[in-house]
Amino acid sequence: LTLQSKLISYYSYDYTEAKNEMQYFVQNIFNIFFNSFLLAHLHCIRLYFKHQQKEIYMKDKIDYIVQQIKSKKFNIRAVCRNSGVSNATIYKINQGHGSNVRPYIIDTLYNYFKNIGE
């Protein structure tokens, strides 16, 4: 038996009551799926903006690091030795390829230059 026929037999062939019950059931199912769909999309949008905000924050840090390196106040070999970051990584950041560097390395260099500057 289908759901519709079960509802009709349950309400003793009262078609209007069965029809109303079926419409209510379909509307509830639609609301559940639609709300789930909206929540999933809102979650994706939130993650996207969180990622964008993190990229902007990292870009500011990278710009600060490049500015410090290009100011020639620091010997790059000494920076490598004292911060623990490889020479190749610092040159990569200095050439503008800092977006490929891992975030913890950017944080390490940023903190190093901030502590030296204070």
pLDDT digits (tens, 9 = 90+) for 15-39: 666 677 777 888 888 878 887 887 8
Portion of the chain with pLDDT greater than 90, in percent: 0
Phi, psi of 79 (to 5 degrees): -60, -45
Asked whether residue 49 carries a pLDDT value surpassing 80, the answer given is: no
Q: Where are the alpha helices (DSSP H) in the chain?
A: 3-10, 15-70, 76-83, 87-94, 103-117
Q: Please tell me the distance from the alpha carbon of residue 25 to that of residue 22, in angstroms, as a whole number.
A: 5
Alpha carbon of 64 to those of 38, 74, 84: distances in Å?
39, 13, 18
Dump pLDDT digits (tens) for 75-93. 888 888 888 888 888 888 8
The Cα 78–Cα 112 span in angstroms is: 11
pLDDT of res. 14: 59
